[in-house]
Amino acid sequence: MIQKYEFPSITDTSSQGVLRVFESVNVPFAIKRVFSVLNSEVGTTRGKHAHKKCSQLICCVAGRVKLVCDDGMSKEEYVMTPTSQGILIPAGVWAEQECLETGSVIIVFCNQPYDENDYIRQYEVFLNWRGIKK
């Protein structure tokens, strides 16, 4: 369902912090939108929607975040960390991100600009859109 991409995580020195670098040549599309999410409480879940056209490359740069991808027929789970690979969530996949650790930060790269009409926010509507009968 998903593909994984390598991005370096560089610790300069212990006091100068952690650098994570995303070269556009390693991102599988032209970047139209970027967003960061942080300060989520442990145990809270974000996402809970699918996109009709937008593919997203999701990377953890701090903490630990569990990603669940669901194409309506099967689910895949990944625990993302600052040293794990970036994950491409293709269009048409329901995705949820659960914060597993205080101070977690994710960065998401999108191949489409924001369009509210691209979101499917109800799971039943998603299944119907995928042509899956319950």
Active site residues: 49
Considering only residues 68 to 127 of the shown chain, the ones binding a copy of itself according to CB under 8 A are 99, 103, 105, 107, 109, 113-114
State the Cα angle at 95 between 1 and 32, rounded to 5°. 90
Of 58 and 127, nearer to a copy of itself (C-beta) is 58
Binding mask 23-62 toward a copy of itself (x if CB under 8 A, else -) reads xxx----xxxxxxxxxxxx--x-x--------------xx
As measured in angstroms, the least distance from the Cβ of 130 to a copy of itself is 26
Q: Give whole-number Cα distances, 128 to 46, 47, 69, 103, in Å.
A: 22, 19, 17, 36
Nearest approach, Cβ of residue 55 and a copy of itself (Å):
15
- What does DSSP assign to residue 83? T
First to last CA, the chain: 20
Enter the tokens of residue 47. Answer: 């996402």
CB nearer to a copy of itself: give 61 or 127.
Answer: 61
Give the count of residues interacting with a copy of itself (CB under 8 A): 36
Task: Fill in the amino acid letter for 100.
Answer: L
Q: Is 16 a binder of a copy of itself (CB under 8 A)? A: yes
Strand partners, 105: 38, 62
The whole-angstrom separation of Cα 102 and Cα 6 is 24
19 binds a copy of itself (CB under 8 A): yes
- Give the binding site for a copy of itself (CB under 8 A): 12, 14-25, 30-41, 44, 46, 61-62, 99, 103, 105, 107, 109, 113-114
